[in-house]
Structure 1
Amino acid sequence: MADLPDTPADSEVDGKTKMILVAEALFAEGGINGVSMREIASKAGQGNHYAVQYHFGSREGLVEAIFDYRMDQMERMRERMLAAAEAKGRLDDARTLLDMVYLPQLELPDGDGHRSYAGFLSQYLMRSHSHRFGDFGGGGHPHLARVFELLRKRLSYLPEDVAQRRLVTASFMFLAILARYETFEDSAPNEESFEAALDDTIEQIVSCVCAPLRLTTGG
């Protein structure tokens, strides 16, 4: 197995947070069902092999804890983005709202954190049986909830299940470009930059999510 992404020094995080960060990285690489709780505890420096079960109860409890940890970090940026959008009268603008959904992932701390989270979220979305976008964590993230509320209002012409499916599909588009971040680091001067690729990807997402619904019937 490849080396884990960098995480904060042990002195900077408690044991529970260390397990969250290690689990996120291992889940991103090996799949949420492909990593044992014992391995997570060991990689996180826990002498007790049952430390994960003690702190989180189960694999699903650990997954929820990862989301809560990351959503709490992104809430601060979403709060600032919502305030800026409201001041500019852009709370009904689809690009502005979708930026609030996706761009905070770029600001996640701990070195390689945003790429580790991107891989983890990809694994979660492929594994999840939920058709709803945003069924992440245990709740308690009011700024994300407000973004979803505003986005749903913006997409009011779409049936609920269609809007939800489009947002899930769009997430894979964003995560694909985020996961390829490192491939842009050695780009030649005349090649597309990550910033340009990211901007174009989000424009694609806006077009796909906001497209009018066209239902076809068999002839």
Structure 2
Amino acid sequence: MANVDIEMSAPLTIEAMDGKTRLILAGEQLFAQNGINGASMREIATKAGQGNHAAVQYHFGSREGLVRAIFDYRMEQMEAERGAMLQRARTTGSLKDARTILEIILLPQLHLHDADGNHSYASFLSQYLLQSRSPEFGDFSGSEPPHLTEALQLMRERVDYLPPYVAQRRLISVSLMFLNILMRHHGTDEAGFGESFPNALEDTMEQIVGSMCMPLRLASPRCCG
């Protein structure tokens, strides 16, 4: 696995954030807990400590605007790490290696946590991906940070033998695999699973590479009669 520290840094306290950021993270937490359509704008404003219950509409315009802001906020946080990982891959000549590319896409999410130290972004993103119906490869939120965009393009070139809608379906599936292991192991000691998180992550990444890159094998339709 790439040299990526899986230890989480201490989360910022709510008090250290500006009002708009508090709304973004409150929205992320409540969407993660209750579903993207399951939390009201009033609840989000209250959790963010905003006395004005219309604060979400004021800053983001709508629920969809807040969802986009959550993606933009988190994508920006991951950009520097993805850029460093891309540079290492260039130096080592591994930009065509599927495992390396998938690590660039997925592993920076290890470092995202909310003010309580939980992986609410992982749960939020899982719910978003389960609702996704776009056949376009890499189309998640409309956010297009350059380093992630480059990594996704490298992945698409790596699996250019797959139709775009198959590549997108697989990308969503492997993303959910990664997010599941992140959420499932959070806050649970090794005895609870019989394996350490690094070992579980390593095995999951191997599964992800196989699932993403295997040739397309469609069963022949059965004849009737």
Distance 1:206 1:140 in 2: 23
* Aligned residue in 2 for 1:22: 26
1:107 shift after superposition: 1.4
1:24 shift after superposition: 0.4
Distance 2:16 2:168 in 1: 38
Gaps of 5+ in 1: 1-5
Instruction: Call closer, same or farther: CA 1:133–1:46 in 2, change over 3 Å.
Output: farther
Greater alpha carbon shift after TM alignment, 159-168 vs 133-142: 133-142
Name the aligned partner's letter for residue 170 of structure 1. Answer: V
| 8 Å contact kept, 2:135–2:164 | no
Identity, % of aligned positions: 58
* Aligned residue in 1 for 2:221: 218
Gaps of 5+ in 2: 1-9
Distance 1:158 1:70 in 2: 29
* Aligned residue in 2 for 1:3: none
1:127 shift after superposition: 2.2
Distance 1:186 1:210 in 2: 30
Instruction: Call closer, same or farther: CA 1:175–1:140 in 2, change over 3 Å.
Output: closer
Q: Does 1:185 align with 2:196?
A: no
TM-score by length of 2: 0.88
Q: Could you list the per-position Cα deviations for residues 45-74 of structure 1 after superposition, in whole angstroms to 9, with x for gaps in the alignment?
A: 111100000000000000000000000000
**CA RMSD after TM alignment:** 1.9
Q: Could you list the per-position Cα deviations for residues 168-210 of structure 1 after superposition, in whole angstroms to 9, with x for gaps in the alignment?
A: 111111111011123642527x931100000100100100110
Distance 1:144 1:22 in 2: 25
Instruction: Call closer, same or farther: CA 1:113–1:126 in 2, change over 3 Å.
Output: farther
| 8 Å contact kept, 2:82–2:108 | yes
Aligned residue pairs total 213
Distance 1:37 1:86 in 2: 44
1:147 is aligned, of 144, 151, 154, to 151
Distance 1:20 1:26 in 2: 10
| 8 Å contact kept, 1:184–1:193 | no
Q: Does 1:67 align with 2:55?
A: no
2:203 is aligned, of 192, 196, 200, to 200
Distance 2:214 2:144 in 1: 31
Q: Does 1:107 align with 2:111?
A: yes
Distance 1:195 1:10 in 2: 30
1:10 shift after superposition: 3.3
